[in-house]
């Protein structure tokens, strides 16, 4: 699974810490998702998309 979380976050002018606080996870979790070390649950993916004002598909997609 690939993601564009870092770009979308920077576009929305969020720091990792701010985004983490907004969706009630740790900053380390945001970092782990951005670096591809952790694939979030559906619930967390939906929360991220809502907070960054985009769709889940814009954030995450399957590798071919």
Partner 1 sequence: MKTKFLLPPTFKYVGWLFFTLGLAMGIAFVAGWDEPQFLQAIVPDIFNQNTLGSSTPAEQAKGLKWIENNLSDELTLSFILVGVMLLMLAREKQEDELIMRLRLESILWAAIVNALLVFASTWLVYDMAYFMVMEIAMFLFYLLFVIRFNWVLWRFNHLSHEE
The owner of tokens 């998309």 is 49
Residue 3 CB neighbours (<10 A): 19
Q: Are 9 and 19 in contact (CB under 8 A)?
A: yes
Q: Does 42 bind partner 1 (CB under 8 A)?
A: no
- Number of residues located near partner 1, criterion CB under 8 A: 18
Name the minimum Å distance from CB 39 to partner 1.
10
Q: Does 26 bind partner 1 (CB under 8 A)?
A: yes
**What six digits make up the tokens of 13?**
């002018």
| Residue numbers at the binding site for partner 1 (CB under 8 A) | 6, 15-17, 24-29, 31-32, 34-35, 38, 40-41, 44
């Amino acid at each position: 699974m690939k993601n564009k979380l870092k770009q979308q976050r920077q576009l929305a002018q969020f720091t990792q810490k701010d985004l983490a606080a907004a969706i009630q996870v740790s900053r380390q979790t945001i970092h782990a998702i951005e670096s591809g070390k952790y694939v979030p649950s559906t619930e967390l993916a939906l929360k991220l998309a809502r907070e960054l004002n985009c769709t889940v598909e814009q954030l995450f997609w399957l590798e071919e």
